[in-house]
Structure 1
Amino acid sequence: MGLPGHGRYQYDPIEGRRTVEWPGGKRLAVYIALNIEVFAFGEGLGAELAPGGPQPDVLNYAWRDYGNRVGVWRLLDEFYRLELPVTVLANAETYAECPAVMEAFRRRGDEVVAHGRTNSERQGVLDETEERALIAETTDAIRQAEGHRPFGWLGPWISQSRTTPDLLAEAGYSYLLDWCHDDQPVRMTTRNGGGILSVPYPQELNDIPAVVARKVEGREFAEMIVDGFDEQFEQSARQPLVFGIALHPYIVGQPHRLRPLRRALEHIAAHRDRIWLCHAGEIARHWDSVEA
């Protein structure tokens, strides 16, 4: 009697896999995932700085709103100063709620990954028709704003139904970021036979699980980033790896967390000649070319 499974990939230990390299002979691909999110006022989901009271929960709504009004601009200064590419995980409603944020990243030429409509909802609880509509609405909003469609997806709240990979592949997506089960991209099967690539997205080096859930503060979170980077940089001598950092402007854009984060980003940038600083989509495209 076997355990119920997802059927998307087989167990494959990282030891013994074939060795490939990232462009330029690099061994560690590094990307920064910046979550640009918007939230409904007085209803729906949202991370909490403190236990929320009855709706409207002004404390936590306003805390999250700080990210798009202030925090993201402080982070942008660092991305420019250190010449770091950013993968923007954008709620579609961001284009209507705070268009200046998306325009700022468009000027930089950063990649936009689809991140649902808002982070006030989960997609995994929808039926297939509703979920297909959510994917289509999100894709169309980004296409209209950016002039081209996104090819990467991260579900709001890392929420998937049992058919999400199938629906994403059928909607033309080539990779997703919801699964944190490996340090290399993994090909997932889909019902249409084409498959979809899972690119590693961090849940450990992610400021929501760290700061909001585990109550880690800025200095410790920055130390986690440095330690994780240094360890994976050493491990990458054995096989190519992906190192990601997941950030939210309303968390690490707060001044007392930004200062230690700055030092962690400087540490990574100092290794730029020995790592591949890139977008998540570049990782997916390169892996696809190697698999072909």
Structure 2
Amino acid sequence: MKSDPDLYAFSPYRDRPRITWPGGKQVAVWVAPNLEYYEIDPPAHPRRKAWTKPHPDVVGYSHRDHSNRVSHWRMADVMTRHGFPGSVSLSVALCQHHPAVVADGVARGWEYFSHGIYNTRYAYDMSEAQERAIIEDSIRTVRDATDQKIRGWLAPALTHTENTLNLIAEYGLDYTCDLYHDDQPTRIATKSGDLISMPYSLEVNDHYGFFVYNMSPRDYADTLVRQFRRLADEGGTVMCIPLHAYLIGQPHRIGPFAEALHEIAADGRAWATTAGEIADAWRAQQ
């Protein structure tokens, strides 16, 4: 077995050419709301259970459905108020299940990329044909719902095959959020296309913050501000804030989150932007 997948070249952080962002900003900040759909009784996968409880899991499903009924609107309003557009990691089935949520993002000028069809369908063991069908479905469904061509990919439930990166590059997508190895964009080695890794974060992902690290809402907000300040001090960096509305949009969490966005915006060093704009600005300097 190879010890290195050879997806990207090694480049020591301190030896790199300086990246400059528009307006002389120090750090490109993009917010990635995960607009997702979880099936209450998904098909069983031999490698991974969709729910910890036997299906149908009414509790798990309804907890997450809070995103689409209530907490999306709280989260989105806070983002808009403080000048942060969304780059949406979309379960594309949401376009059929809850089109009003997708339309709200479109009205706010948000960018959409694919997070698979459902977040309860996993890529493990998929054939190339099956994966192609999902990519084609994603391109078609998002185009029909938003009039956008998806540019990026975050694998459903962070599940992949050895073909994933090559396939999304072949279909003309230009960034992946599935690698967590850097605080700057990185060119990815694929058989065709021009794919880059867009910095995405597990460390300041609200799912990890609340479910893994057991942070309080105040702790999580403080973590966002400290992450931003360090990256701004270093300069030429990217900060991603991955969100799930059913977590960050709860009444007891939304206040500290709003305060964190206010503080980041007021600092003056943040370029509040989208993943696609970061990709374009980075490519223009290479």
- Confirm or deny a common fold (TM above 0.5): yes
**Residue 253 of structure 2, aligned match among 242, 253, 257:** 257
Q: Please give the alpha-carbon distance, in whole angstroms, between the structure 2 residues aligned to 1:54 and 1:159.
A: 21
Q: Percent identity?
A: 35
* Alignment TM-score, normalising by the size of structure 2: 0.94
Alignment of 1:130-169 (within 5 A): 130-169=130-169
The residue type equivalent to 1:156 in the other structure is P
Q: Distance in 2 between matches of 1:253 and 1:221?
A: 13
- In structure 2, distance between residues paired with 1:151 and 1:102: 17
What is the aligned partner in structure 2 of residue 222 from structure 1? 221
Measure, in 2, the Cα distance between the counterparts of 1:138 and 1:46.
23
Change over 3 Å in CA distance of 1:55–1:156 after alignment to 2: same
Inter-partner Cα distance in structure 1 for 2:124 and 2:77 = 35
- Measured in 2, the distance between the counterparts of 1:46 and 1:54 equals 9
2:29 maps to which residue? 30
Aligned partners of 1:163, 1:136: CA distance in 2, in Å?
Answer: 15
Aligned residues: 282
1:154-177 deviation digits (Å, cap 9, x = unpaired): 111222211211100111101111
Cα distance in 2 between the residues matched to 1:195 and 1:86: 23
User: Tell me, what secondary structure is at the counterpart of 1:15?
Assistant: helix
1:180 counterpart residue number: 180
Tell me if 1:198 matches 2:197: yes
Quote the offset at 1:47 in angstroms: 8.0
Write the deviation string for residues 10-42 of structure 1: whole angstroms up to 9, x where unpaired.
211111101120112222111111000001112
Query: Residue 9 of structure 1: CA displacement?
Result: 0.9
RMSD (Å), alpha carbons: 1.7
- Give the drift of 1:120: 0.5
Q: TM-score, normalised by structure 1?
A: 0.92
- Alignment of structure 1 residues 21-60 onto 2, 5 Å: 21-43=20-42, 52-60=52-60
Equivalence for 2:263: 267
Gaps of 5+ in 2: none
- Mapped to 2, the partners of 1:241 and 1:227 lie a distance apart of 14
Cα deviations by residue, 1:210-249 (Å, 9 ceiling, x for unpaired): 212232231211111111111111121xxx0001110000
For 1:278, the equivalent position in structure 2 comes to 273
